[in-house]
Structure 1
């Protein structure tokens, strides 16, 4: 079964169409890296994928069902969103925060039970933050908070997990933690959708890539063959160098010398 399907989808706001005629299918355990500069509609597309807003046109299907025909509760059981703009400042503990991810599975005034506690403990172990379970959120680092957000999404037991720029504002070590978490989600069989500005992050995560640009239509395909130097240069409007290390890792970097020369002219 297709975990997520997009057929002739267009998204934007008002009369401003940012993404046009988008078609792609994601299977269980697949990763979709949505890549592009600021202002091309990455977050707007995620809102349509998660049901927070309607696409301008086209159809979004989730686990084989049209998204618009699903109830809010059913959507929450099927897809979890880790937003980039959430402020986790309440004095909840890590465990209490993760337990809020069980809300779609509980009644209106129902409190989490033993099963929910067990699920919360399990995902805290998976994300490597079980030792933080009794810490309050304001005491955590940015990277630790991001791990807790992802753990909360896992507690929803949703097939599809959406991460909106999960590495923004994080140092390199914490960025690597997030990427490792994405790999763990994939190994568990989750379908993962992640937005990023960094082509190397997409290469490390693997799977599929959707490249959005202000100058042409969306480009969708396998990460390794789709992310060419020419496509990246056209997308980000900077010269790009793509190389392979002795270990087979692909490295992508802007040609800073050439960029600075062009800026000084």
Structure 2
């Protein structure tokens, strides 16, 4: 049985404008794939994720992708909103109707239970990251079959890392695909994309 690809990169150049870091990058991810994106700092891992997400233009090559969730360092947490308001906003981007129970469940999964009414400005960097990750414990491939995760395991304790890796596996088993960068080994990854192979 052939699945249509969740993500396809065909001879993609990674870079900004004329400044190309890597060229002719090819990758096909199908339902069930968890791919570890590796490469030294400066090779363009985050740039590639931004290009796949449509936040940066692709100068040459083609990117074909399913609807996606992008969890990065910067995206989407407003300091003027409460934790619950931020999470509601992140869910609303995917037409997920998040009631209070859903919000509580998501926050509980990332160790922020009871902080829903807290102003996000009071949170540590690690806690803000967890708001961004909380939606992953609710969303399924029906909402968006592709997850792009930029260093999702950074600033997390061992138990939270294990919980998130388990969740990535569950999402893949449900028919999703994950492309994630991490400086540490990723349990459950069945694919690796090493940008060093494409560096100029």
Normalising by the smaller structure, the TM-score range is: 0.7 to 0.9
Unpaired runs of 5+ residues, structure 2, are: none
The residue number in structure 2 matching 1:186 is: 169
Scaled by the length of structure 2, the TM-score of the pair is: 0.78
CA offsets, 1:83-106, max 9 Å, x none? Answer: 223584614222111100133356
The residue number in structure 2 matching 1:123 is: 106
The residue number in structure 1 matching 2:72 is: 83
Cα RMSD of the aligned pairs, angstroms, is 2.8
Q: Does 1:104 align with 2:87?
A: no
Q: 1:120 to 1:28 in 2, by over 3 A?
A: farther
Aligned-partner SS, 1:23 = strand
- The list of structure 1 runs, each at least 4 consecutive aligned residues, that deviate by more than 6 angstroms after superposition, is none
Aligned pairs for 1:197-236 within 5 A: 197-198=183-184, 201-202=185-186, 204-213=187-196, 216-217=197-198
The residue number in structure 2 matching 1:249 is: none
In the alignment, the residues of structure 1 paired with residue 168 and residue 132 of structure 2 have an alpha-carbon distance, to the nearest angstrom, of 13
**Aligned partner of 1:93 among 62, 82, 86:** 82
In the alignment, the residues of structure 1 paired with residue 76 and residue 31 of structure 2 have an alpha-carbon distance, to the nearest angstrom, of 30
Q: Does 1:18 align with 2:21?
A: yes
Aligned pairs for 1:1-265 within 5 A: 1-63=4-66, 78-86=67-75, 88=77, 90-105=79-94, 115-117=97-99, 119-152=102-135, 157-168=143-154, 170=155, 174=157, 177-188=160-171, 189=174, 190-198=176-184, 201-202=185-186, 204-213=187-196, 216-217=197-198
Aligned-partner SS, 2:6 = strand
Ranked by relative contact order (alpha carbons within 8 Å, sequence separation 6 or more), the top structure is: 2
In the alignment, the residues of structure 2 paired with residue 205 and residue 187 of structure 1 have an alpha-carbon distance, to the nearest angstrom, of 10
Aligned-partner SS, 1:162 = strand
In the alignment, the residues of structure 1 paired with residue 126 and residue 149 of structure 2 have an alpha-carbon distance, to the nearest angstrom, of 14
Scaled by the length of structure 1, the TM-score of the pair is: 0.61
Aligned-partner SS, 2:93 = helix
Q: 1:150 to 1:33 in 2, by over 3 A?
A: same
CA offsets, 1:210-250, max 9 Å, x none? Answer: 1122xx426xxxxxxxxxxxxxxxxxxxxxxxxxxxxxxxx
Q: Displacement, 1:6?
A: 1.0
Structure having the higher helix fraction is: 1
In the alignment, the residues of structure 1 paired with residue 127 and residue 42 of structure 2 have an alpha-carbon distance, to the nearest angstrom, of 28
Larger radius of gyration: 1
Q: Displacement, 1:125?
A: 4.5
Q: Displacement, 1:25?
A: 1.1
Q: 1:186 to 1:39 in 2, by over 3 A?
A: same
Number of matched residues? 189
Q: Displacement, 1:15?
A: 1.9
